[in-house]
A and B are shown apart, each in its own frame.
Chain A
Amino acid sequence: MTMTMPDTAVAATAPLLEIRNLTKRFNAHGGGVVRAVENVSFSIGRGETFALVGESGCGKTTLTKLVLGLEKPTSGEILFHGADLATASSKAMHGYRRQAQAVFQDPYSSLNPRMRVSKIIAEPLMAHGIGDRDSQRARVLEMLDVVGLPKTAADLYPHEFSGGQRQRVAIARALSLKPAFMVLDEPISALDVSVRAQILNLLADIQDEFGLTYLIVAHDLALVEHFSSSVGVMYLGSMAELGPTESVFSHPKHPYTQALLASVPRPDPDHRAPVGVIYGEIGSAMAPPPGCKFHPRCPYAVDICKTTPPVDRELAPGQLVACHLAETIVPPVQSSIAPL
Chain B
Amino acid sequence: MVDMDVSYAEISSSPSQRMMRSLFGRGIPYWSLLIFGLVVIAAIGGENIAPHDPNGLDLGSAFKPPSWLEGGSIDYLLGTDNLGRDIFSRMIAGARVTLTVAVYAIVISGGIGALIGMIAGYFGKIVDTFIMRLVDIQMSIPSLALALVIATVLSPSLTTVIVVISITYWTWYARIIRGEILSLKERDYVALAKVAGCSTTTIFVRHLLPNILNTLLVLASLQVGQVIIFEASLSFLGLGIQSPDVSWGLMLADARNYIGNAWWAITLPGVAIMLTCLSANLIGDWLRDTLDPKRRQL
Of all chain B residues, the one with the shortest Cβ separation from A119 is B206
Contact B192 A110 (CB under 8 A): yes
Contact A123 B196 (CB under 8 A): yes
Known: A106-B188, A114-B293. Is A127-B197 also a contact (CB below 8 A)? yes
Contact B194 A70 (CB under 8 A): yes
Q: Considering residues B189, B193, B207, which has the most beta carbons from chain A within 10 angstroms of its beta carbon?
A: B189
| Complex-state Cα separation, A104 to B192, whole angstroms | 8
The reply to whether the CB of A324 lies closer than 8 angstroms to some CB of chain B is no
Partner of A114, one of B191, B195, B196, B210: B210
Interface size on B, residues (CB 8 A): 19
A196-226 vs B, Cβ < 8 Å mask (1 yes, 0 no): 0000000000000000000000000000000
The reply to whether the CB of A68 lies closer than 8 angstroms to some CB of chain B is yes
Of all chain A residues, the one with the shortest Cβ separation from B198 is A127
| Complex-state Cα separation, A127 to B193, whole angstroms | 9
Contact B294 A101 (CB under 8 A): no
Contact B202 A127 (CB under 8 A): yes
A109-141 vs B, Cβ < 8 Å mask (1 yes, 0 no): 111111100000001100110000000000000
The reply to whether the CB of A98 lies closer than 8 angstroms to some CB of chain B is yes
Q: Considering residues B195, B198, B293, which has the most beta carbons from chain A within 10 angstroms of its beta carbon?
A: B195
How many pairs, one residue from A and one from B, have CB atoms within 8 Å of each other in the complex? 69
CB-CB < 8 A to B199: which residues of A?
Answer: 127
Contact B187 A124 (CB under 8 A): no
| Complex-state Cα separation, A159 to B296, whole angstroms | 11
Interface size on A, residues (CB 8 A): 29
The reply to whether the CB of A100 lies closer than 8 angstroms to some CB of chain B is yes
The reply to whether the CB of A94 lies closer than 8 angstroms to some CB of chain B is yes
Contact B193 A123 (CB under 8 A): yes
| Complex-state Cα separation, A54 to B145, whole angstroms | 59
Q: Considering residues B191, B199, B210, which has the most beta carbons from chain A within 10 angstroms of its beta carbon?
A: B191
Contact B197 A98 (CB under 8 A): yes
B183-223 vs A, Cβ < 8 Å mask (1 yes, 0 no): 00001110111111111001000110011000000000000
CB-CB < 8 A to B207: which residues of A?
Answer: 112
Partner of A94, one of B187, B197, B202, B211: B197
Known: A104-B191, A104-B192, A159-B294. Is A114-B198 also a contact (CB below 8 A)? no
Within 8 A of B (CB), among A30-86: 65, 68-70
Of all chain A residues, the one with the shortest Cβ separation from B186 is A109
| Complex-state Cα separation, A69 to B188, whole angstroms | 14
Q: How near does chain A come to B189, taking the closest CB pair, in angstroms?
A: 4
Q: How near does chain B come to A96, taking the closest CB pair, in angstroms?
A: 9
The reply to whether the CB of A157 lies closer than 8 angstroms to some CB of chain B is yes
Known: A114-B210, A114-B211. Is A109-B197 also a contact (CB below 8 A)? no
Q: How near does chain A come to B81, taking the closest CB pair, in angstroms?
A: 49
Contact B195 A113 (CB under 8 A): no
Known: A115-B206, A159-B294. Is A97-B211 also a contact (CB below 8 A)? no
Contact A112 B211 (CB under 8 A): yes
CB-CB < 8 A to A101: which residues of B?
Answer: 195-196
Contact B293 A123 (CB under 8 A): no
| Complex-state Cα separation, A101 to B206, whole angstroms | 19
| Complex-state Cα separation, A172 to B174, whole angstroms | 36
Partner of B195, one of A100, A112, A115: A100
| Complex-state Cα separation, A177 to B196, whole angstroms | 9
Of all chain B residues, the one with the shortest Cβ separation from A183 is B195
Q: Considering residues A68, A114, A124, A157, which has the most beta carbons from chain B within 10 angstroms of its beta carbon?
A: A114
The reply to whether the CB of A259 lies closer than 8 angstroms to some CB of chain B is no
The reply to whether the CB of A285 lies closer than 8 angstroms to some CB of chain B is no
The reply to whether the CB of A262 lies closer than 8 angstroms to some CB of chain B is no
Of all chain A residues, the one with the shortest Cβ separation from B202 is A127
Q: How near does chain B come to A301, taking the closest CB pair, in angstroms?
A: 38
CB-CB < 8 A to B196: which residues of A?
Answer: 97, 101, 123-124, 127, 173, 177
Given contacts A97-B196, A104-B191, list 15 more A-B pairs with CB under 8 A. Answer: A69-B194, A69-B195, A70-B194, A70-B195, A97-B197, A100-B195, A104-B192, A113-B294, A114-B211, A114-B293, A115-B206, A127-B199, A157-B294, A159-B294, A170-B192
B-binding residues in A (CB < 8 A): 65, 68-70, 94, 97-98, 100-102, 104-106, 109-115, 123-124, 127-128, 157, 159, 170, 173, 177
Q: What are 19 A-to-B residue pairs whose CB atoms are below 8 Å?
A: A68-B191, A70-B194, A94-B197, A102-B195, A104-B188, A104-B191, A104-B192, A110-B187, A110-B189, A112-B207, A112-B211, A123-B206, A127-B193, A127-B196, A127-B198, A128-B197, A157-B293, A159-B294, A177-B196
User: 3 smallest A-B Cβ distances: which pairs?
Assistant: A110-B188, A124-B196, A127-B197
